Amino acid sequence: MDLHAAIGPGTEVAEGARGCVLQVPGNCSGLLPPGAARFSCKENIVRKEPVQVNYLVAIKAMSEQELPGLLILDIGGTYGVQENIVALLKKHFCLITMKEFLENKKEMSKKIQSVFVFECRPTVDQELLESLPNLKVIGNSGVGVDHLNLKMISNFGVKVTNTPHAVADSTADIGMALMLASARRLVEGSQIAISPHTKYFAVDWLGVEVSRATLGIIGMGRIGYKVAQRARAFDMKILYHNRKQRRKEEELAVGAHYCEKMEDLLQQSDFVMLVVNLTPETHKMIGKKELGLMKPTATLINIGRGALIDQDSLVEALQNNIIRAAALDVTYPEPLPRDHPLLKLNNIIITPHIGTATVQAVQMMAEEAIANMLAVLNGQPIPNYGRRSTLWTFGK
């Protein structure tokens, strides 16, 4: 935008897309001639009455007009981005909802430089990528990217980032919560306590101890290590299986012992917790064979992805007491069909994928995603790359 045109007499006052609006009171005093008031990435004129603004306001208006376009599914509602996260995004981007994009593809497609994927939405497919010629980065809010076709996205020269640091504590917390709830039969106990049919509490209704039990962690990345830190407070014996063995000082800090073979971990553990990403290699990594290796008194906990487990084999194992119990924050699909056999068992706990569902985690994920996307757009390194954030480029 030309500065002279922005501040000169007769300039029209425009208001546009969410996140790109600068509002100035009509009686605002300033040193410049009347004319400029507010600008946005859209240029739909709403009124023409002259007002006065100062030089800084005009510069800010220009700056806000130049905010990079960010595509999101929607604002609020069942699947949209939460209002408090929208407020964060508006500080750095011109927000364009999928509806706005579809209604005006020709104009909007030029403005969109980034996509914010929140709760696996919007769907990023080839059709969308082909319609966004200036797209540079997809910022995924969360650590898992199995819902994104990374190779296809890379073929368009687009980078993908995620937010592993922001989710580590909250996901580790839900892992511990599921382990404790399953061990002490917390959900069953609550149902008994509030049931109108309960006349007394049975003295032989028992759970098992978590303290001093053996925990086997499959996947000792950021989240897995956070789980180990928490488990140490329960004096648990900690085994872990990972692609790479942790440094000795890291193992000593949490009292963890490396199992090169996953089978060894399965045979020894009282609780087995899955904390790995879903890849072709980890798909259904726990099946009939692996469940058969576990102790009949063991519990399987999954805070990774639902498809890490062969669910048909899990149903069979739970029905036939091959293992004691299971506790899942993730399933495949989500939610399960209402007639799925897992929902009919009383030795399983299923939560609705709430590992990162805390006020703090959602805020931190958004902040990290914003920092990642801005870094890519500005040609800068990802903040703390290699420790906090991951960048997928497939060599591009």
Active site residues: 305, 334, 353
| Three-state DSSP state, 6 | helix
DSSP annotation of 76 reads: S
181 to each of 120, 154, 186, how far by Cα in Å? 28, 42, 5
Given a contact cutoff of 8 angstroms between Cβ atoms, the answer to whether 141 and 161 are in contact is: no
Sort 203 into a burial class: Cβ within 10 Å, 0-12 / 13-18 / 19+: exposed
> Could you tell me the two tokens for 352?
């609705």
CB atoms within 10 A of CB 3: 13
Q: Which of 286, 260, 284, 258 is nearest to 273 (CA)?
A: 286
Separation between Cα atoms, residue 396 and residue 382, nearest integer Å: 15
Going by C-alpha positions, the residue among 154, 167, 118, 123 that lies closest to residue 139 is 118
Whether residue 12 contacts residue 36, with contact meaning beta carbons closer than 8 Å, is answered with no
Positive or negative torsion for Cα 94, 95, 98, 99:
negative
